[in-house]
Structure 1
C-alpha cells in the first residue's frame, strides 16, 4: 500500500473542477465551514490511515497486529517503513491500539537499566498526547498502568500505578526503546518481551464484559483519503463523544453537521446543495494550503532550524486546530517538547532550500557544545518531498550520540557532520550523513532535553541553539 500519510502533503487541487470553482452561488460562509472541518479533521484522518494500516488491514505490508495486542519491531525504521512520515530510526518501536469501548486495558512495562531511555506515548483519535510512561515521566522501574475510555467510571484497581483517561474509544500507544548499537538488539528484544497488555477483566481475573458491536472499517488509501476526507472524519467522530472536555467542540460539530459531517452517520448526513458540494471541495483545497503555510512558519527560526514548542494535549492547543494540523504535517505523533524536542531543517545558513543534488553541506558542533540531553540526540535525514527515510549505499539514516566513539573530531574538539549525496573523501566518511539526490529535510531529535542551562528549553528561547547547516566549498 502506498504511503497514506504522505499523500496528505500533496495538492488537493484536483478535487475542484475548474467549472465548479466558478460557481457564483458558492457561499463564503459554507466554504469557511468546510475549510474549518478539513483543518480540524486533517490529523485525525492521518491518524486513521496509520491505525488502518497497522491494526486493521492484515493484507497491508505495514500491518503490525490486531487491536489490543502489542507489536514489537525488532529493528529500527528504514526506507521500507512508509506508513508514518518522518519516523525516527533511533529506537525500535512497539505499538498497540486499544479498543476501550467494552472495558479499560492494562499494560505493563519491565524494569530496565538506568542508562537506557524508553518512553510510552499515549495518543487518542484526536492526536492529543494525553499521557506518558517512561524514563522521564515515571522512571525505569517496572510498572502497571491502565487506560480507561471516555465512558468508564470506577476505582483504580489494586496494583495499578496510574490510570490514564482517554477521551476517545480507541487509543494508540507508541513505545520507543533506546538501541545503543547493532550488538544491543538482543537486549532490546528482551525488554520488548516484557511489554504486556491485557483487558481489565483478565487482569482482575473476572468474566469479560459483553463484546462491543463489530465495526465496518472503511478502507483508506491515498486516493480515497484525498477524494473524501469528510467521510473519514464523520466515521472517526463516531468514536469521539462530545462529553467531558470535548463538550467544548459542540459549536464546531454543529457547524460541520450543516455541511453533512456528523459523527457516526454516513457522509453526507443530509442532502447537500450543489453550492455546498462545491464549498466542500474548495474548503479542502483552502484548508490544505492553510495547513502547509502554518507548518512552514510554526515555531522559531534558529540558525535556519525551525524549532517548535510542542505540547500536544487539548488544554495546550486551546482549540487551535490549525496548529494541531500543522504539527501533524511536520511530523505526526510528535512528542511533547519536554519528552523530545525536534529542530527541523529545510534551509541552509543563507536561507536557501537544502538540495542534495546541487550542494554539499556541513553541520559543526563547537567543542563541548553537543545537544544537551538527559538521554540521547540524533540528526536524521529524509527525502524533502516525501519526508521518508532514503536509501543510501551505507544504510545510514542518521548520526546520533551513541555513535560518538566512532566519529572523528576536529583538532579543536569540534564535531563536523558531512551532508551530501555522494561519498566524501575517505578520511571524512566516518562522519558522513548520506543525503538524497534532491530536496533535503532533516530532523534533529533531543530526547529528554535538559532543563538547566545550557538547554534548548523552552523551545525557541533556550540558551542552547542548533548550529546552522552550511553549504560546503
Structure 2
C-alpha cells in the first residue's frame, strides 16, 4: 500500500555565539522571528490542552487518542476555538502518536451529505482530509501514524496517513441540514471510531511513551510563560525541511528541546527583552490577521505553507483550524464596501445576493457573525449565529428576486426579520464559508457580494 511520507529536516544546528554578544536590537529581532515561528504551535496546544489534557475544564472533551462527539453546533458558550464554524456538529480527537498509530473509522453515509476528518499537525498545517472530497462517502478505516513510523499495516485499510508531528489534532465535521436533522447526525457520529493500532489488530501493545509533564496553558500563560511553552513543544514537532534557520534562531535564544528557559547564562536584560517581544509581536500578528480578507492563501498543506511563517501565525490567530481552500473557501468581511470597519453600535448593513448569484458550492455555504474583540459567536435574542444555504426556503426575496441579508444589532422591521443576522453592539466581522467550492469560486468568476452600509 502506498503511504504518504514526510521528510524530516535533519540538518544539525550551527554552533552559535552566546546570546550576550548580540545587541539589544538583534535580540528583539531574533525574538520576534522566534515568536512568529512558534506561535501556531503554542496556539494549537492551547486548544489541545483544553480538549484533552485538562480534565474538569470547561472545554474538556476526553483523553488523548479518544474521539469525542459533540452533538450540537457551536454557540457563544463555546470559547476554546476562535472564529468557530456553527454549521456542522464536530467530533474531536487529539492525537499522541509517539508510541503507535491510531486507527480512525469513518462510516458510510448518504451521498448528498458532507463530512470530513481534517488532520492538522502541531504547526497548524492541514495534512489530509479523509471524507467526501478525497475518499467519497463510502467510509473506511484510516491509519494515522506519527513521523517515520514503520510497522505492519493490517489488511483492508483504506489509507495510511503519516502526520509530520507526534501531537496532532483531528476535527470531524458532519453536515447538519436543519435542526430536525440532528438525530441523524448523532447516528453518523456514533459510527466514528478511534482505537490504537494494537487494539485494532489484536497485537501486543508497544512500550508506553515516556510520561510527559504537560505544561498548563491558558490565554494568560501564553503571555507570561510563552517561551517555556514554545521550547516544551519542540519535542513533538520535528523541523520541516527549510526550518533549519528558524531552529538555529530558537537555539540562539536558549529555546531548545528539553532545556529550561531562561537558562542560567541568560542575562536579566535579555529575558526582559524577550518577554517584551511576546507582547509586541502578538499585536503585530493580530493586526496582520485583521487584514486577512479570504482564506485561499492562508491555510494549506505543509508544502503549501512552507516558509510562510507570518501568514501561518496570522491564520492561527484569526481562525485556527481553517480548511484548505479545496475543502472550504472563506470570505472574511472586516470592513464594509467603503472600507470602514464594521461596527454594530450605530451601523446597519446589508449583504445582497443577486438572482442566480448565490455562492457556488458542491456542499453548502454560510455567513456567520463574530464579535471582533473576542472572535467568538455573538449572543443575541433570537439565537441566530449564521444564515446558511439550508435556510434558503425561509429567506425572503425582494421584488427584484434578490436575497437581502440585514446585519445590524437591533431587529429590522418585522417582515424582514427572516433575513436578519444579529450583530453585537460593538465592532464585528463576518465570515462566508463555501464548502467544496466550485471552480468559479476558486478562479474568480464568482465575486462575493460586499457588505453595504445603510
TM-score (structure 1 length as normaliser): 0.89
Q: Is the 8 A contact 2:41 2:124 kept in 1?
A: yes
Other-structure match for 1:48: 45
**Which residue number in structure 2 is paired with residue 443 of structure 1?**
431
SS of the aligned residue for 2:243 comes to: helix
Unaligned segments of structure 2, at least 5 residues: 1-21
The farther-off stretch of 307-316 and 332-341 is: 307-316
Alignment equivalent of 2:132, drawn from 129, 132, 135: 135
Is 1:465–2:450 an aligned residue pair? no
**Matches of 1:376 and 1:101 in 2, distance apart?**
37
1:231 aligned onto 2:225: no
Q: How much does 1:31 deviate?
A: 1.4
Where in structure 2 are the equivalents of 1:411-426 lying within 5 Å? 411-426=399-414
In 1, are the aligned partners of 2:300 and 2:325 still within 8 Å (CA)? no
Residue equivalent to 2:105: 108
Q: Does 1:168 align with 2:184?
A: no
Match of 1:409 among 397, 402, 412: 397
| Cα shift readout 1:129-180 (whole Å, capped 9, x = no counterpart) | 1111111111101211011101411353311111111111121100000001
Q: What SS does the aligned partner of 1:137 have?
A: helix
Task: Figure out how many residues of one structure are paired with residues of the other and give that number.
Answer: 433
Change (3 A) 1:124 1:306: closer
Q: In 1, distance between residues paired with 2:364 and 2:254?
A: 47
How big is the shift at 1:373? Answer: 0.2
For residue 5 of structure 1, what is the aligned residue in structure 2? Answer: none
Q: Give the whole-Å Cα distance in 2 for the aligned partners of 1:140 and 1:49.
A: 32
Contact in 1 for aligned 2:330/2:434 (Cα 8 Å): yes
User: Which residue in the other structure is 1:284 paired with?
Assistant: 278
Change (3 A) 1:269 1:166: farther
Q: Displacement, 1:270?
A: 5.2
Give distance in 1, aligned partners of 2:328 and 2:294. Answer: 15
Structure 2 residue corresponding to 1:344, chosen from 323, 332, 341: 332
Contact 1:383 1:436 in 2 (8 A): yes
Q: 1:307 to 1:104 in 2, by over 3 A?
A: closer
Q: Is the 8 A contact 1:346 1:440 kept in 2?
A: yes
**CA distances 1:267-305 after superposition (whole Å, capped 9, x unpaired):** 22452123321331232234223323432334xxxxxx5
Out of 308-317 and 37-46, give the one that drifted further: 308-317
Q: Deviations over 1:339-386 (max 9, x none)?
A: 001111111111111111111111000000000000000000011111
Distance 1:256 1:389, change over 3 A: same
Q: Equivalent of 2:267, from 261, 265, 273?
A: 273
Unaligned runs of 5+ in 1: 1-24, 299-304
Equivalent residues of 2:336, 2:452 under 8 A apart? yes
Distance 1:417 1:36 in 2: 42
2:310 is aligned to 322
> Which secondary structure state, in structure 2, belongs to the residue aligned with residue 213 of structure 1?
coil
Match of 1:136, SS state, is helix
C-alpha offsets along residues 208-261 of structure 1, whole Å, 9 cap, x if unaligned?
11111221111112221111211111111111134xxx2432332122112111
TM-score (normalizing by structure 2): 0.92
Please give the alpha-carbon distance, in whole angstroms, between the structure 1 residues aligned to 2:264 and 2:105. Answer: 45
Tell me whether 281-290 or 424-433 shows the greater mean CA deviation.
Answer: 281-290
User: Does 1:263 find its partner at 2:257?
Assistant: yes
